[in-house]
Amino acid sequence: MSALWVYLPLVACLLLGQQTCAKNEAPCQLSKWNNGYRTFLKRHIRDGTPQSLDQNEWEKYIRNNGGCDRPTQSFLSPKDLDRVKAVCSAKGGKVYKENLCISQEPFTFVTVRSESGTCGIRSVRQEKKHLILACEVLDNLCVPVHFEGNPTDRRPSNNDPSCQDPQTRGHAPVCRASALWLGSVFLLLLLL
């Protein structure tokens, strides 16, 4: 029975180490979330958004179309869809960090802030900033799956590689949990 207690921590490490990465460490890698692009569109590029910055219109829109659970939301114009998708390409975006790309050109969008847990609107603001988007491959296309805030109005660097750069796209993402799992297996084999 005492030998079981020796191996229990190792078994726990093995089980915990089998977790997969929550996100890719470089843009334009295979997505681990099949609905990422559809969710991105549903959250950020919707038809029928109010054309004004009137808080009452936005509150009604969000109540009727979902999103009361999200205290900060940003909405891009559907007419900009092709430009938004281009952020995840060599012609429209640069690698920012991890799986994030930053647009080479600024975009105009609306940011709505509400009271946490309610649909009560605190502010509606039109912004013009460079977009920071998580870009992953779904159906052999690199597409946006997440809108990351850009509170300091970061801009791309000309020295950064382009999104879908062969140096970033061709490598499989490294998962630290997988390395832990392999190390645990090796340790277990040594002990046996």
**Which two tokens mark 68?**
């009361």
Q: Which domain holds residue 86?
A: 23-172
Cβ neighbours of residue 99 closer than 8 Å, sequence gap 6 or more: 23, 24, 25, 26, 27, 29, 134, 135, 136, 173
186 pLDDT higher than 70: no
- Rounded to whole angstroms, the Cα distance separating 121 from 73 reads 11
Of 16-25, 53-62, 123-132, 143-152, the poorest mean pLDDT is in: 16-25
Tally the domains of the chain.
1
Residue 5 lies in a domain: no
The CATH number of residue 108's host domain is: 3.10.130.10
pLDDT at position 119: 87
Does residue 9 belong to any structural domain of this protein? no
The answer to whether position 188 is within a domain reads: no
Average pLDDT over residues 23-35: 88
Among candidate residues 66, 33, 58, the one with its CA nearest the CA of residue 143: 33
* Domain annotation covers residue 183: no
What is the pLDDT, as a whole number, of residue 165?
A: 56
Say if residue 141's pLDDT is above 90. yes
pLDDT(15) > 70? no
Q: Which residues of 161-174 are buried (b: 16+ CB within 10 A; e: fewer)?
A: bbbbbeebbeeebe
Query: Looking at residue 24, what is its pLDDT?
Result: 83
Q: Cite the DSSP H helix spans in 24-135.
A: 36-44, 55-65, 81-86
Residue whose structure tokens are 């779904």: 138
Q: What is the pLDDT of residue 22?
A: 55
What are 38-48's pLDDT values in tens digits?
999 999 999 99
Residue 60 in domain: yes
The pLDDT of residue 107 is above 80: yes
Q: Judge whether residue 177 has pLDDT over 70.
A: no
